Amino acid sequence: MALRRCWRFAGVAPRLLWNSRVLPGAPVPLWRSTMSSFVNTHPGCKKTELQSRRFSSEPASTDVSYEQLKQLLAGRKAVVIDVREPWERREYGFIPGSINVPLGQVNTALQLSPDEFKEKYGGEMPHQTDNIVFSCLAGVRSKNALDTATSLGYKDAQHYPGGWQDWVKNEQHN
């Protein structure tokens, strides 16, 4: 409720100042020209995005790009979990180094003991402080897996929204 009131004030005060009239020939106040140039020239952002980011409680980004994923894999700085079904991996392929944990098993798998996880899925179980990147075919299932991991207390979980389709496309170009 307090945030909503704050948001209303944050939206009203600048508009009151922004819409005030400046007489012809009078100098434009410095704050007005600075704000205008920042909002209008900030790369890739709209005025509403800038305002909403200030009040967002979500992490900056949970999405990983192809380039970021390549760097994480090269530096062995992340556990990549492919949440597709095993037949999909066999038929279409997979990201090298990824562990296959089908989406329907993610909740249970992330609560197993490390030995049970390794025996069942063939890879090291990520700790709650490890960087985990979930992947699937096109980013829908990986987002669901990300939400599950976050609810289980995994702090540094992300997903690769492009999934296998984006990976193949980028690998063919390189």
Q: Which two tokens stand for residue 100?
A: 């296959």
How far apart CA 140 and CA 146 sit, in angstroms, is 10
Whether 6 is catalytic is: no
DSSP 159: E
User: Across-strand partners of 79?
Assistant: 132
Catalytic pick among 69, 83, 101, 136: 136
Q: How far is CA 5 from CA 25, 146, 149, 161, in A?
A: 37, 32, 33, 35
CB-CB contact of 72 with 78 (8 Å): yes
Residues designated as active site? 136
